[in-house]
Amino acid sequence: MSRRNLATLDRDIGQMIGRPLQEAMAHGITNDMIYGGLLTGQTALQGLRSVSATQNCLYGTRRVTWDGDVFRYAHPDATSAAATIYLVRPGMGCKNGHDPGFIAVTGGVVNARAVGDSTLNILLDATTGAAGWFGTAYNMVGARVVLAGMNPVQQYRIIAHGVGATGATITITLDGEIPAIIAATTMIEITPNAYTDVQGGGNDMTSIVGVPTAPMPTGYDGWIQTWGILWVTPGITGIGEGTDDRTVVFHDDGSIHQSSDHTWGETDAHQYAGFVVHRSTAGAWANPPFIMLQISP
């Protein structure tokens, strides 16, 4: 039985909603499923293997193909220069480049908040008011907030925020209601959206967040894969050749190594990348391994 593209289903307003859904389920779904979505003013989803100088989706938007591969919409940092090791590119894992990775907001909460409120006012400093934080529209949507001064501690996701520079007071909107009164100056900590500042190159203090589908020089947004079958550059020969040797980890530069190979200092403490899908022939570079990438499903 043939599959049906959801975009071609009859959307006659007179039909019961159940009929289009039944048609889709009966024939199969070929469309990618999108969680997050297009920015205001964007009318078409950016291609899976294309890059754009205009932001198309919220950073961190999750895209799932019919066979289960998962991708996230991401923005490269300022070091992603063409023809350098820092270029965010296919075949190499890219890292969360935010530094600092979290920050205690200067002065804490500006105004007291009542039970049931879902917004906070914060004062921006040189870090939080920068372009990579609250200095750019939508940039911190998806960031996490910890109300560290509450007991017990409460955690939220930012779903909307104002824009400002150092010294400005802005409002951030949380994804839930506050369960208790918050006094002014209550301490809060924020960690940025991990997909708003991805970087290539070596760094042994940050974590891989995905593998790009296309080269992403600074200023060009695109998709990075976080789950599913793909090829990642092997940093050593012989990956997957040993008996039951299937686990791979990320090396500092975004390539993969066997977790059991200690030549380059790899240990089980390195970031888990996934496992070799299939490799049955021994020998240097024989059957370069595809892996089942397992970062974020």
How large is the C-alpha radius of gyration of the chain? 22
| Average pLDDT, integer, range 180-193 | 92
Residue 234's pLDDT is 86
Residue 235's pLDDT is 80
Domains, the chain, in order of start with CATH, read: 1-8+28-96+202-297 (no CATH), 99-193 (2.40.30)
DSSP lists the bridge partners of residue 221 as 52
DSSP lists the bridge partners of residue 146 as 155, 189
CA distance 75 to 61: 11
pLDDT-based confidence at residue 149 (cuts at 50, 70, 90):
confident
CA distance 174 to 156: 6
Residue 136's pLDDT is 92
pLDDT-based confidence at residue 266 (cuts at 50, 70, 90):
low
Q: How many CA atoms lie within 13 A of 104 on its CB side?
A: 7
- Tell me the three state secondary structure of residue 35: strand
Q: Scanning the structure block, which residue is given the tokens 């039951």?
A: 244
Q: Is the pLDDT of residue 277 over 70?
A: yes
Asked if the peptide bond before residue 152 counts as cis, ω within 30 degrees of 0, the response is yes
Residue 282's pLDDT is 61
Percentage of residues in the chain having pLDDT higher than 70:
82
- Tell me the three state secondary structure of residue 116: coil
Residue 33's pLDDT is 93
Q: Is the pLDDT of residue 47 over 80?
A: yes
Q: Is the pLDDT of residue 28 over 90?
A: no
Threshold 0.75, pTM exceeds: yes
Residue 289's pLDDT is 73
Residue 277 CB neighbour total at 10 angstroms: 15
Give which of 85, 99, 98, 96 is closest to 215, Cα–Cα. Answer: 85
Residue 264's pLDDT is 58
Q: Which of 24-33, 113-122, 161-170, 188-197 bottoms out in mean pLDDT, i.e. has the lowest?
A: 24-33
Both ends of the chain: CA-CA distance in Å? 29
Q: Which of 134-143, 161-170, 259-268, 284-293 bottoms out in mean pLDDT, i.e. has the lowest?
A: 259-268
CA distance 293 to 297: 9
Q: Which of 80-84, 87-91, 181-185, 251-255 bottoms out in mean pLDDT, i.e. has the lowest?
A: 80-84
pLDDT-based confidence at residue 22 (cuts at 50, 70, 90):
low
Specify burial of residue 92 (Cβ count, 10 A radius: 0-12, 13-18, 19+): buried
| Average pLDDT, integer, range 127-144 | 92
| Average pLDDT, integer, range 10-30 | 55
